[in-house]
Chain A
């Protein structure tokens, strides 16, 4: 019974923790401009993150090493450092976007200007990272993030024309868009679903919680059930936007537009739940990205790391996270739009994805690390297909960003 509860909790937190500011914004933007014609990318991204998280979790459980320890070992110091620089900068961009997301959601709840909420949000992130146990932190934010299910509920309450909505599922470029913007947002959605920090956090979390190969079954269930259900949440965000915003000619550019379909369908109760969900999801992701910044640096440079250690025993790990939070505050204090930072962060995530995906794919096939837990044939075949997809997305992202003026 206890084991069953653990599995259920793992699945629920995986669902609630799946959506972050990148998913919220990108799915709403896509839904308001392309309807449901890009849902296939969400499916592709969810399958990809299941594969990637499953491999990195298995590597962590079987070898006891987290992602960046493995990357440094396999790529060597120089190539590993280039990899670290790119991954760290994109992670920092995501930290900034998530803190901005928390502040924007709090503005929607209070009408106090978001810039005033930024130091509060960053301080709260630091306090939780400093004081709260890993499992509590993960479970509370994940469970509260589940309130985002209100997007799916609101979709039903909106009573859409299901036939017409299903008709939008066919991949096609809408009349008012170009094939270039369609492709650009396909990459953005892919990047939002397959964010590298999720994998850093997942594999480092496996070490934090002391996973062994005995925990692999639960890890698989969490990933293979929780992430696809989280993906359905993403689709419901896009569907809500497609039902309410697209017919009104609204292209999403702010978080305040994302919540309107929920208020339309579910009123003030829906609004309260969606705001709670957005704060929980972005705050949870801010914690994960902040920790991921510390994890990547500490694992690469061989510093002592982990929340399972007292802060004094992992001083550089904690200090690096404080510096990241301060950098995020500094960027947001310039007045840059957090939604814009989010839009760029998901595309850059797609660009940097091969840097972390390839080493994990290699190590997951290495019997020296994995012993009998190396990738099976099916996983390897899928892994190779995804390597090609990830490379194509990574190479095409910048030219498409230039051609489309970042999807304008």
Chain B
């Protein structure tokens, strides 16, 4: 992808005042290489950042739904549907991150961190759904589900700030 072009004849500019293009070719290639690498890198960062934001939104939604359920404001059917929708959103974000092809070690690290965070979110959703299925007084409780999601939200926030700062 980043192969340098074959070096051409050095050549000398026949037009005084104009830049010698041939002499600049290796430098231009190097610059292009850096730009492409940076582009790929920022592409990964951007994809991870979007996935984290979407997941964060899904987790926040699930927490509001759980809190409303605990307060008797939301029916089980609506809470269950909201959790299912959130989980779907999370799975979509995870799939996006999983399909990324990082080139650098830093990007591979970012992808790994994101996948770990998203797995923790999925575990939080699993606890919340189990709590909903267990019903009132069952184990885990809705409060346990909310706690698991709150922990996942903290991890996402940390990741968000890591991804945001270069």
Binding site for B on A (CB under 8 A): 107-111, 244-245, 248-251, 253-254, 256-257, 259-260, 263-264, 267-268, 271, 275, 408
Contact = CB atoms under 8 A, between A and B. Distances in A.
Given A253-B57, A271-B74, 7 more contacts: A108-B81, A111-B77, A250-B61, A254-B88, A254-B89, A260-B64, A260-B65
A25 B111 CA distance: 32
B75 interface: yes
B85 A257 contact: yes
B85 to A, nearest CB: 4
26 contacts: A107-B81, A108-B78, A109-B75, A109-B77, A109-B78, A111-B76, A111-B80, A111-B81, A248-B61, A249-B56, A249-B60, A250-B57, A253-B57, A254-B88, A254-B89, A256-B61, A256-B65, A256-B82, A256-B85, A260-B68, A264-B73, A268-B74, A271-B74, A271-B75, A275-B78, A408-B50
Contacts of A263: 68, 73-74, 78
Contacts of B72: 267-268
Contacts of A267: 72-73
B159 to A, nearest CB: 14
B78 A249 contact: no
Interface residues of B, number: 23
A252 to B, nearest CB: 9
B74 A253 contact: no
A109 B79 CA distance: 10
Interface of B: 50, 53-54, 56-57, 60-61, 64-65, 68, 72-78, 80-82, 85, 88-89
Among B61, B81, B85, B88, the one with the most A-chain Cβ atoms within 10 Å of its Cβ is B81
A244 B64 contact: yes
Residue picked from B80, B85, B88, most chain A C-beta under 10 Å? B85
Contact of B77 (A108, A244, A245): A108
A109 B77 CA distance: 6
Nearest to B50: A408
A81 B68 CA distance: 52
A143 B74 CA distance: 25
A107 B85 CA distance: 11
